Structure 1
């Protein structure tokens, strides 16, 4: 696991309060009830601050941000 993924997992754990988030980097965070709309906004704001990226809400597609691996890929694309 690279440092970016570790930071993403740490952000998800902080926002959700769940220590086991990220144990399966392909777990669907929405389908499994880990992220809801409020938590998603908090995660996105934190990702923007942490990685210096911009995620326009109008372009947010839940399916592209549903797993740790997908979040990592999207952050890499936006950096």
Structure 2
């Protein structure tokens, strides 16, 4: 899967969860800005698992590695290689 497809999927999921179009805010901290909380994080991971086939255990989730849309795209891209 191309990185652009991953980016679009991640942005679609984040838009659905946060109600915010983050395409122009790829480096915004989702937690510091209160766009995401722990429940939203679980929902995001479940949707990404369903749509992209990744498997992230909540116990292995490091918020600092997933705190911006850009980091999420990079993390998911790495998992799909």
TM-score for the superposition, normalised by structure 1: 0.90
SS of 1:2's equivalent in the other structure is: helix
Distance 1:24 1:53 in 2: 24
Distance 1:11 1:59 in 2: 21
Gaps of 5+ in 1: none
RMSD: 1.3
1:3 is the counterpart of 2:5: yes
Matches within 5 A, 1:2-41: 2-18=4-20, 20-41=21-42
For residue 44 of structure 1, what is the aligned residue in structure 2? 45
TM-score for the superposition, normalised by structure 2: 0.88
Could you list the runs of 4 or more consecutive aligned residues of structure 1 that deviate by over 4 angstroms after TM superposition? none
Please give the per-residue CA displacement for 1:4-56, whole angstroms capped at 9, x wherever unaligned: 111111100111222x3332101100011100111110000000111101001
